[in-house]
Chain A
Amino acid sequence: MEEPILKVENLEVGVKKDTGFMNIVNNISFFLKKGETLGIVGESGCGKSMTSLSIMDLTPASVSLKSGKILLKDKDLTAMRKNERRKVRGKEIAMIFQEPMTSLNPVYTIGYQIVEMIRNHQNMTKKQAYQHALNMLQLVGIPRADEILHEYPHQLSGGMRQRVMIAMVLSCSPEILIADEPTTALDVTIQAQILELMKSLQEEMNMSIILITHDLGVVAEMCDRVVVMYAGEIVEESEVHELFENPKHPYTKGLLESLPDVDEDREYLSSIKGTVPSPSEMPEGCRFAPRCAFASEKCQEDPPVFRVNQKSSCKCWLFEDSTAE
């Protein structure tokens, strides 16, 4: 098998409180291969964004990494100093965010911001950098790119801003792109444009993408492999076809069944009873057990990750017969 480009091992992220350390992300491991798109799905508060922010070292000050390794090829990012980490960020791993308005600086022109990024990471003169920025804007399909270069973020629509963000992060040709809900704030027709763009650019530049989203429709369209998170843990990891055809974990099943489907008519949607527990009141053992229809006494104990078949693994006692990883 091809050596993964990014590996996250036993990552634990949390907040320090008076009462002790409160885990937000609890002991998760996954990997990303060259050229693939990995989806991370889960509902709000499941820790998917914190995972990606930890990879970028952009976590808020109150949140800290407790243990675990983040390996980019064979370099351990967690062992790096701040300024080394800074060179990786943007150059090798880049990230786009949900709300393109808040991630662009309103008082600088688009051109200034892209050039700043390019000159930080690459040895280019101002003129070359401007030319490169112009090329990038054209690459992401912005009309009148030479004029847009001198405009401010507020003069653009949401879809255009997201294109500018993509142009900016790709200007240093990163190997890994982390996209945190890149289309959530956009309308469906614009979402279709942006997803199409990301796909074609991925092929062109042979990037790996980590796509973080709560929209399973987007996952089905974009991803090769999917990681499902619930309450700070990875409950299932699976190839995309396997996930939708044959979901393993009761949570994944519940999530898929509660989606309204355009092709199907149902009087009622099935739903998962209850709500996601808050990080301060995590249940003992399996964290999904209180909402799970299949819960048994065994679930008092925290299940390990079982490898169900070649395509998927699952953190649930139902798959005890399979081998533990």
Chain B
Amino acid sequence: MEKNVLLEVNHLKKYFPIKGGIFGKKTIQHVKAVDDISFQVFEGETLGIVGESGCGKSTTGRAILRLIEPTSGDVFFEGRNILEMNKRQMRALRKDMQIVFQDPFASLNPRMKVKEIIEEPLINFKMHDSAARKKRVAELLEQVGLAPSHVDRYPHEFSGGQRQRIGIARALATNPKLIIADEPVSGLDVSIQSQVLNLLKDLQKELGLTYIFISHDLSVVKHFCDRIGVMYLGKMVEMGSKHELYNRPLHPYARALLSAIPRPNPKLKKERIILKGDVPSPSNPPDGCSFHPRCEECMSICKEKTPDLEEKEPGRYVACHLYDQEDQEKII
């Protein structure tokens, strides 16, 4: 079955300037939050993006929606380059692309009632008349598992899990095709986390949604996603289907990251790769492969040349010189 590409990201970059100089107006350096990443998202699938704090996964999510203006690159949504669109076209397109944020406490306006929060996107896009909107709000509440009596309440009256449900209902209001979920369950307790994950899965089946799921929690990503990309210091270092990635990680960073997951099984005595040191600052990343100072299999080429993300096996992308050998042989 040929899968349709819903979203294509090509060489996306986002550099944040660091201002300096006497008047603080000169740009002295750049933080390369997202540095040249490319990937595709197929219709109906869930793509997971994992990485540690500061690796640029949230910036990627926001840059795709142009909530942060990317420095360069292309983002194609259903074949149209959204980075070339003007404000009006972009606004119209936002109907199809929505985002759910991590902190449901901060992303809901405390002075609006639930019905106003969920109705707002419908009003923005001039969808339905007033009575139909009311019906739609009730329908959405039911879809995310809240009671119709909740419409007149304010966000502070809800628990964290319920607030996240409100956030999801708001994102669903305009019938989007793509939802970017930025750490949607990180602030929640495990028993509530599983409720929200199940809800998201149900909604995907029901409405045929496509998700980009951004998280630092590797077990949640493994459970929830179809394909997963691992980011390190603004770069995508490995990408593949979840089974291949978790069973046989190729990139040394992905290997270390996966071995560090604490498993809820005391019998499992596994060999853990403990990484030395910390993640370097993204304003001053090391030359060559940005992972090389912490890498156990660092070679001389790693210090000089940045590896590109290449398809080493069908559907399996890795950015690491360890897997260059075939090419080298060809050169010889």
A residues apposed to B, CB below 8 Å: 43-44, 143, 157, 159-160, 187-193, 195-196, 214-221, 223, 240-241, 244-245, 254-256, 258-263, 266-273, 275-276
CB proximity of B311 to chain A, nearest CB, Å: 25
**In the complex the two chains form, is B198's CB within 8 Å of A269's CB?**
yes
Please measure, in the bound complex, the distance between the C-alpha atom of A281 and the C-alpha atom of B194, giving whole angstroms: 24
B159 lies within 8 A of chain A by Cβ? yes
**In the complex the two chains form, is B262's CB within 8 Å of A272's CB?**
no
Give the most central of A187, A241, A244: most B CB within 10 Å: A187
**In the complex the two chains form, is A187's CB within 8 Å of B274's CB?**
no
**In the complex the two chains form, is B194's CB within 8 Å of A187's CB?**
no
Please measure, in the bound complex, the distance between the C-alpha atom of A107 and the C-alpha atom of B293, giving whole angstroms: 32
**In the complex the two chains form, is A262's CB within 8 Å of B191's CB?**
no
Known: A159-B278, A188-B216, A269-B197. A261 touches B264 (CB 8 A): yes
Could you mark each residue 144-185 of chain B with 1 if its beta carbon is under 8 Å from any beta carbon of chain A, else 0? Answer: 000000000000000101100000000000000000000000
Besides A256-B264, A260-B197, 11 other A-B contacts (C-beta < 8 A): A187-B279, A189-B260, A196-B274, A220-B264, A244-B265, A259-B190, A260-B224, A261-B223, A261-B263, A261-B264, A271-B195
**In the complex the two chains form, is B189's CB within 8 Å of A241's CB?**
no
Known: A189-B275, A271-B191. A217 touches B262 (CB 8 A): yes
B residues apposed to A, CB below 8 Å: 52-53, 159, 161-162, 189-195, 197-198, 201, 216, 218-220, 222-224, 246, 256-268, 272, 274-275, 277-279
Sample 21 A-B pairs with CB under 8 A, ordered by A number.
A157-B279, A188-B52, A188-B216, A188-B218, A189-B256, A189-B257, A192-B259, A192-B275, A219-B264, A221-B262, A241-B267, A245-B267, A260-B223, A261-B219, A261-B263, A262-B222, A267-B201, A271-B194, A273-B195, A275-B161, A275-B192
**In the complex the two chains form, is A44's CB within 8 Å of B189's CB?**
yes
Instruction: List the A side residues contacting B198 at CB < 8 Å.
Output: 268-269, 271
Instruction: List the A side residues contacting B159 at CB < 8 Å.
Output: 275
CB proximity of B46 to chain A, nearest CB, Å: 13
Please measure, in the bound complex, the distance between the C-alpha atom of A259 and the C-alpha atom of B22, giving whole angstroms: 53
Quick one: closest B residue to A268, CB to CB? Answer: B198
**In the complex the two chains form, is A193's CB within 8 Å of B275's CB?**
yes
**In the complex the two chains form, is A221's CB within 8 Å of B266's CB?**
yes
Instruction: List the A side residues contacting B216 at CB < 8 Å.
Output: 187-188
**In the complex the two chains form, is A215's CB within 8 Å of B262's CB?**
yes
**In the complex the two chains form, is B265's CB within 8 Å of A220's CB?**
yes
Please measure, in the bound complex, the distance between the C-alpha atom of A160 and the C-alpha atom of B276, giving whole angstroms: 12
CB proximity of B203 to chain A, nearest CB, Å: 13
Please measure, in the bound complex, the distance between the C-alpha atom of A170 and the C-alpha atom of B1, giving whole angstroms: 60
Quick one: closest A residue to B197, CB to CB? Answer: A269
Query: Which 5 pairs, one residue from A and one from B, show the smallest C-beta to C-beta distance?
Result: A217-B262, A260-B223, A187-B52, A269-B194, A258-B194
Quick one: closest A residue to B272, CB to CB? Answer: A192
Known: A189-B275, A215-B262. A258 touches B193 (CB 8 A): yes
**In the complex the two chains form, is B220's CB within 8 Å of A260's CB?**
yes
Instruction: List the B side residues contacting A192 at CB < 8 Å.
Output: 259-260, 262, 272, 274-275
CB proximity of A68 to chain B, nearest CB, Å: 27
Instruction: List the B side residues contacting A223 at CB < 8 Å.
Output: 266
Instruction: List the A side residues contacting B219 at CB < 8 Å.
Output: 217, 259-262
Give the most central of B191, B218, B256, B274: most A CB within 10 Å: B191
**In the complex the two chains form, is A269's CB within 8 Å of B223's CB?**
yes
Please measure, in the bound complex, the distance between the C-alpha atom of A189 and the C-alpha atom of B189, giving whole angstroms: 22
CB proximity of A148 to chain B, nearest CB, Å: 13
Instruction: List the A side residues contacting B256 at CB < 8 Å.
Output: 189
